[in-house]
Copies of this chain bind each other. A is one copy, B any other.
């Protein structure tokens, strides 16, 4: 019997959540190996650094193969288990898989750089005993509005970002979208009707619901 996949992380981590959502979409059984993130700071110690030299979660172990970077883990899982669960990469169509890649890169290079600093300043900085910087939040809200304006147009042409199918391109957005909706600026999403409908659609998926409850950063 094949060994169960091992995902090292913690449920509240946006990046670990990104890979957990994918594993659930694919119907892949895995063991979540909890990392002692806050007390022992295990991810910055040598045993963990031998798995990911950047000292970040998640890490996926599949037998002797060790992978890190959540988006790379998700491509691997989508490729290896292409015949089960949701087809997240459209492996039967060169054109559709190319569009999944385009909009996954948009997440990495347009959406994430705009939204992450808001998440960091509003939800993470207080966790580390730091005060949040409103000027940085305002600057990035402006960038996020521009990105979501493009999404609003795009979602008028196709149901999901890469086409009329849910894919990794949508999935990769979910943890940051979820945390952003906990901030006082969720209206930036809600005032764009197609983006709002897209978020309501993808966040109602079973695979996401299995993970959302663990994303507790910012809860009182």
Contact = CB atoms under 8 A, between A and B. Distances in A.
Interface residues of A, number: 29
A53 B102 CA distance: 12
A72 interface: yes
As for how many copies of this chain the complex holds, the number is 2
A98 interface: yes
Nearest to A113: B113
Contacts of A80: 94
Nearest to A110: B54
A120 to B, nearest CB: 13
A105 B72 contact: yes
A150 B76 contact: no
A71 B72 CA distance: 14
A76 B54 contact: no
